[in-house]
Structures are given as C-alpha cells and as structure tokens.
Structure 1
C-alpha cells in the first residue's frame, strides 16, 4: 500500500537509540509541491514510497521533521519484525 498524506506510520530513528516513534506523513508523491522543490524550500522525494514525516517525540520539543524517508518494508509491518533505522512502516494491526 502506498503512503498518503495524513496517515500515521511508525518511524525508527536513524541516530542514538533508534527508538520506534509514531509519525504522520506530511508529504507524499501526490502532495509534493514542485515549486517548493524548485525553490529549494523542500527536498524532493526519491520515489513513490519515500515520504516527509513529522515524528512525534516525548518531551518539550514534541517532534521533528524527517525528509525523504524510505519505506522499511514492502508490506505491512508484522509484530516481532523490526524496521531498519531511518525508515517508516505501517503500524501492525491489533
């Protein structure tokens, strides 16, 4: 399933403890503004499975932006499987 604007995903950090966090898709292939890319305001996306994310974190900051994040798996994330650092995946069904 392709990512879409506003969907909640899981994101594994690429630095430090590489903790799993909740994130929301802020830009997908359909919502990317090409003028923003041309002006250098926003990075491009590599392909239809890369997204820009807002990653939610505990603490004062509340979160941070990650750009051009790849999908860490081809299909739905399964319990017990870990996402590679610096990638997003679908939350497991409960």
Structure 2
C-alpha cells in the first residue's frame, strides 16, 4: 500500500480489476471498518471485512452500466485490489 493511512468511507481510491486486462478504475469506498453496520453483516445484507484495510467499493466504468460493486477488497497492486491514487 502506498500509504499507512486507512481507507475511509467516501474516499476515492483506485481499483485494479480482476478480469480482462485488469484495468485500473476510480472507485469510492462505500464501507470501511468504522462504518460497516455489524447488524447488516449478521443478517447477511452485506459481507464482512477481513481486516481494517479491506473495504467495500463502488467502482466506476466507462461501460454501459457505469459502475459495479466489489466487496471485501484488500489493498495491493495485483488484480482485485485497491490502492491510493498516485500524487502528481
């Protein structure tokens, strides 16, 4: 991970896709360990997070749908992970 900062809900991160060319997309954090509703996890409405660095994301795409959700996403540089945007 490019920083020791933990992700926060509404934060903008980059997501490396799991399929196809593994394109990097913009994403918004929709849940982190501080905002995930434990009751929602208990009743099965939302998946749990495996660690404080894992997040649920709303990933933006230029495709017809416009976005998709990813759950329990870990930080990293490999497919299926999130990372902080590079600073320019």
TM over 0.5: same fold? yes
Match of 1:17, SS state, is coil
Match of 1:53, SS state, is strand
TM-score (norm 2): 0.93
Alignment match, 1:3: 7
- Residue 87 in 1 paired to residue 81 in 2? yes
Match of 2:57 among 53, 60, 82: 53
Runs of 4+ off more than 6 Å: none
1:50 is displaced (CA, Å) by: 0.1
TM-score (norm 1): 0.87
Query: Cα RMSD (Å) of the superposition?
Result: 0.5
Alignment match, 2:33: 29
**Deviation string, structure 1 residues 23-72 (Cα, Å, up to 9, x no partner):** 00000000000010000010000000000000000022011000000011
Query: Which structure 1 residue ranges, 5 or more long, are not aligned?
Result: 73-82
CA–CA distance in 2 between the matches of 1:60 and 1:85? Answer: 22
Query: Which structure 2 residue ranges, 5 or more long, are not aligned?
Result: none
